[in-house]
């Protein structure tokens, strides 16, 4: 069975057998190379540091940090705990999970994303009224929209996070921010809980850093208003690109139709990165796009210096980072975007192959 190709070979011929063995051998060799790179810095050939963090959602995921040698958790999807539970997880239970994850991460940062539930991530124990049926759940009453309307859930989560991070730096990030006021309200809610705990002489985080996810294209038009208020921005390319192309991210017929390396997406991201740089706000990518080596190379070419990806992608992406000259990739991307190149994927692949940069 070839799980990479999603293929089950029935009665393979000797040729097929041999080809399969070769492939397996190459994969194992590459894996060993990635493992050997675990403790090497994630720095480009011209000395540019690219932070490599992992996406996580379960207590066990924190162990991946050491296994792959990541710089931290760039996206902790807190809704996982809610989705796998038969009843609403109590605040103490949430707090235990957050503390365990922070302890496992040690000095490395963990960016907790407040719950992204609702829409297609419906909770069985959360009552919905009949008029809440949604035709387009991905664009519906989910994430921050739901959290601000049902703020008891968000308040409990904020307290759990603040108490879990006592004596440490707490990073909180809000999903699906569409307008700056939503971010402001969410931040005020967390700050209010902080004051509440302070008044009760509870031990608090030494600092709280607040971030917003850019997943809704409209937010990109008001970054000049939002950025002075945030500590960091994280681009969620899974949702962002489905909204940019109006193409459902889970639809099998559309999965391959629009390319992450399309000029529309790259120009959009380029503008966002430049606006963040102008405001001196750190910006990263935490969608799946950053976990693919060629896409990650393009993102570095746009000026992205923080990627949060699945643990399995850290090895291949780090190998690519250590092989490229970021200045050269940046010049190449500028060229491709300005000239309106049609097949950016082909051009980048060719460029990498001419320099013997492995993208596997
Ligand atoms: C995203 O949308 O890119 C993202 C990281 O969030 P999620 O995949 O959890 O929606
Ligand atoms: Mg998302």
Domain boundaries, the chain: 32-50+243-360, 52-214
Across the chain, mean pLDDT equals 92
Asked whether 290 and 299 are in contact (CB, 8 A), the reply is yes
Task: Determine the average pLDDT of the residues in 253-265.
Answer: 92
Is the pLDDT at 3 greater than 80, yes or no?
A: no
Sign, CA torsion 279/284/289/290? positive
Residue 119 is predicted with a pLDDT of 72
Task: Answer whether 205 contacts ligand 1 (Cβ < 6 A).
Answer: no
Q: Which of 266, 152, 164 is nearest to 208 (CA)?
A: 164
Q: Residue with the nearest Cα to atom 9 of ligand 1?
A: 77
Query: What CATH number is given for 32-50+243-360 in this structure?
Result: 3.20.20.60
Task: Determine the average pLDDT of the residues in 235-244.
Answer: 96
Residue 198 is predicted with a pLDDT of 97
Is the pLDDT at 14 greater than 70, yes or no?
A: no
Residue 212 is predicted with a pLDDT of 98
Q: Which atom of ligand 1 is nearest to the CA of 75?
A: 5
Is the pLDDT at 111 greater than 90, yes or no?
A: yes
Q: How confident is the model at residue 301 (pLDDT cuts 50, 70, 90)?
A: very high
Residue scoring higher pLDDT (22 or 215): 215
Torsion angle in degrees (nearest 10) through CA of 283, 286, 292, 296: 0
- Write the pLDDT tens digit of every residue in 34-78: 788 899 999 999 999 999 999 999 999 999 999 999 999 999 999
Asked whether 146 and 178 are in contact (CB, 8 A), the reply is no
Distance 266 CA to ligand 2 centre (A): 18
- Write the pLDDT tens digit of every residue in 76-94: 999 999 999 999 999 999 9
Task: Answer whether 193 contacts ligand 1 (Cβ < 6 A).
Answer: no
* CATH architecture of the region 52-214: Alpha-Beta Barrel (3.20)
- Write the pLDDT tens digit of every residue in 153-200: 999 999 999 999 999 999 999 999 999 999 999 999 999 999 999 999
Asked whether 308 and 284 are in contact (CB, 8 A), the reply is yes
Specify the DSSP element, H or E, that contains 51: strand 51-56
Distance 163 CA to ligand 2 centre (A): 26
Residue 192 contacts by C-beta under 8 Å, 6 or more apart in sequence?
A: none
Task: Answer whether 85 contacts ligand 1 (Cβ < 6 A).
Answer: no
**C-alpha distances in angstroms, 163 versus 74, 79, 208, 231, 234?**
20, 18, 12, 20, 24
d(CA 170, CA 16): 52
- Region class of 293: left (phi > 0), else alpha (psi between -120 and 50), else beta: alpha
Residue 231 contacts by C-beta under 8 Å, 6 or more apart in sequence?
A: 209, 210, 211, 281, 282
SS3 234: strand
Percentage of the chain exceeding pLDDT 70: 93
Residue 135 is predicted with a pLDDT of 83
Pocket probe mutation, ligand 1, options 61, 74, 112, 116, max atoms within 8 Å of Cβ: 116
Residue 40 is predicted with a pLDDT of 95
């Amino acid at each position: 069975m070839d799980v990479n190709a999603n293929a089950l070979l029935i009665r393979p011929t000797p040729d097929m057998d041999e080809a399969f063995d070769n492939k397996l051998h190459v994969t194992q060799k590459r894996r060993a190379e990635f493992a050997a790179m675990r403790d090497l810095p994630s720095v480009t050939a011209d000395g540019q540091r690219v932070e490599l963090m992992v996406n996580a959602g379960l207590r066990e995921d924190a162990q991946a940090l050491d296994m792959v040698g990541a710089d931290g958790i760039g996206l902790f999807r807190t809704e996982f705990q809610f989705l796998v539970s038969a009843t609403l997880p109590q605040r103490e239970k949430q707090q235990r999970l957050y503390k365990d994850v922070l302890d496992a991460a040690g000095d490395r940062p963990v960016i907790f994303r407040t719950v992204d539930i609702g829409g297609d991530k419906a909770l069985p124990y959360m009552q919905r009224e009949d008029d809440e049926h949604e035709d387009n759940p991905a664009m519906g009453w989910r994430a921050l929209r739901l959290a601000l309307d049902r703020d008891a859930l968000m308040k409990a989560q904020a307290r759990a996070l603040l108490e879990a991070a006592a004596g440490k730096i707490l990073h909180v990030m809000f999903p699906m921010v569409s307008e700056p006021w939503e971010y402001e309200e969410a931040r005020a809610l967390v700050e209010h809980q902080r004051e509440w705990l302070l008044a009760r002489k509870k031990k608090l985080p030494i600092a709280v850093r607040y971030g917003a996810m850019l997943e809704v294209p409209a937010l990109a038009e008001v970054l000049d208003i939002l950025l002075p208020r945030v500590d960091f921005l994280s681009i969620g390319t899974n949702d962002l690109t489905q909204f940019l192309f109006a193409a459902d991210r889970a639809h099998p017929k559309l999965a391959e139709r629009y390319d992450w390396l399309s000029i529309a997406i790259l120009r959009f991201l380029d503008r966002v990165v430049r606006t963040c740089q102008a405001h001196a706000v750190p910006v990263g990518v935490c969608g799946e796009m950053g976990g693919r080596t060629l896409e990650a190379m393009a993102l570095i070419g746009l000026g992205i210096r923080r990627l949060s990806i699945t643990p399995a992608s850290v090895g291949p992406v780090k190998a690519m980072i250590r092989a490229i000259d970021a200045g050269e990739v940046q010049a190449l991307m500028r060229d491709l975007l300005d000239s309106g190149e049609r097949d950016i994927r082909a051009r980048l692949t060719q460029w990498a192959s001419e320099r013997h940069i492995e993208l596997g």
